Chains A and B, each alone.
Chain A
């Protein structure tokens, strides 16, 4: 069978599984639609969280980004995993004890304020939409690269699938399809990684191969070899950092805190039966994420070494077959500036001009071919990329639909509607959200990766401080929380918009405040949020007595939570 036939088989099989799971696990009540009836076992919730969390960017782009950033790529590795420690220790158990469906629910009840609830709803919808647009785009890209389908048609097919199981199954359907999607994506990531590790170093486990010697008999360690190659070609040593230390600190912190503040991640901890399981499912989630996140930097190093070994200073007419295959997609391009027929691939500090442009995504996408793996593995990678994009998109769409049906309609506009009507609204809202997300997937707003940075910054500067202050202090009142969220959100949004949208020409270290990039500014926004919140709370009336009891109750696992409506 050809590569394309295998891809159709793999993608078709995986889609059939998702649809089957969705039909089997469709939701029949709002509790099932919003939080899967709070009956998901912690290990499965961990898998679902991992799939929810790891997006097209993690699966397709991350290893490539690290391959070109070297040590600076660590900001993503630590930033997108360290947040789970914050979630497990500071958020998940208390939100589970609280027991209701959404982040705006918690913010609205804890701060006894419809204004706080509405601010939280707006943040949740905004953050989720910025994030979901990138996912739909990811679906389109995978379809077009692997199946030769038009990118827009790919987006539409992805919309159809997500529509089917998100609208039908709600959180329950999403959770169990995400479990299946995790299995597909992790298998699809590990198989080529293990093979390329064996090819480059002869070691089966990529995490160990990363620190082993190259399998060419030279006895040199892989990373030393890579440092030598990158230095010689003028890129600077791979294991050296090029970003300012302060900026690295702030970006890492912003990504960690943003992770812990993203509503589609937080809501997953409402789906387990007990507080104890909210804690442990955060651990399982991170374990499942860590399997991919510790493999990615190894893949990055293997792929970069391989690339420099096989194409640098090689005659263009002698390049390996994968190079020619991927040239057709435009992901790799050679421009023979000096007309010598040899590929000069060089970095910024080299005297020789660079003749090779490489899209970072190729590092994962072309891996199976570089490692000369059978055709079915290529099909598997396509199915894995789709699983990653679809699972994240579904989780985000659910947050949007819940925000509209539950937080806006039921809690703010029409409290008297029946459960049936609320459920119908949630389904209709999910349907509309799919269509809007698809529109943004076809007409992406600017560069997708930059929009995602915005989502993290905004989550870090809005939800995280409001929730933490609500759990760990009894004195935080609605005035403080609302003004803190608005200040944090306003500052972060303005800083990112200024450098990313209004004045992209000024987006460089000498213009940033204290050398902090827009990716790292969420950390400053978070600090501003806390300072404003505490300052305002000191000069305004303290929260009512009932709120004190509310906080005391969520701090202990025993007893029904203050927001408890579910009866299991």
Chain B
């Protein structure tokens, strides 16, 4: 199997998804949880200062969501390009 334009298009879409999701990953942890933490701490939700909440709770919830979003996006992409694993693969 040699790489076709078709496969390159698949790979580019994958890289786009990864780039967008990692941008979110970076923003919630390094951005909200570390670099902007003091600025966000002026906002309060119940007993939490927002920056502190992102650093110790929020970023972790977002991480979990990011992986499951990636799983869904890629399952759809695999089907669209018919590159998903058929039962006969194993």
Contacts and interface: CB of A to CB of B under 8 A. Distances in A.
Nearest to B53: A211
A558 B64 CA distance: 26
A280 interface: yes
Interface string A271-285: 001111001101100
Interface string B47-88: 111001101110111011011101100110010001111100
B61 A294 contact: yes
A555 B6 CA distance: 13
Given A207-B57, A557-B78, A560-B89, A223 B49 contact: yes
B67 A210 contact: no
B63 A82 contact: yes
A297 B47 contact: no
A552 B67 contact: no
B57 A556 contact: no
B30 A252 contact: yes
B64 A78 contact: no
Interface stretch (A107-115, A118-126, A241-249, A418-426): A241-249
Interface in A499-553: 549, 552-553
Q: Range of interface residues on chain A? A: 35 or more
B3 A78 contact: no
A89 B18 contact: yes
A77 B55 contact: yes
A248 B34 contact: yes
Q: Range of interface residues on chain B? A: 35 or more
A287 B21 contact: no
Given A276-B78, A286-B63, A556-B83, A74 B55 contact: yes
A36 to B, nearest CB: 15
B35 interface: yes
A325 interface: no
A48 interface: no
> 6 closest pairs, A vs B, by CB?
A221-B47, A74-B55, A283-B67, A211-B47, A297-B56, A211-B48
Given A78-B33, A211-B45, 6 more contacts: A81-B63, A85-B25, A210-B57, A283-B64, A293-B60, A552-B3
Interface of B: 1-3, 7, 10-11, 14, 18, 21-22, 25, 29-30, 33-35, 37, 41, 45-49, 52-53, 55-57, 59-61, 63-64, 66-68, 70-71, 74-75, 78, 82-86, 89-90
Interface of A: 66, 71, 73-74, 77-78, 81-82, 84-85, 88-90, 93, 207, 210-213, 221-224, 239, 241, 245, 248-249, 252-253, 273-276, 279-280, 282-283, 286-287, 290, 293-294, 297, 549, 552-553, 555-560, 568
12 contacts: A71-B37, A71-B52, A71-B55, A81-B59, A81-B63, A85-B25, A89-B67, A223-B52, A253-B30, A286-B64, A557-B78, A557-B85
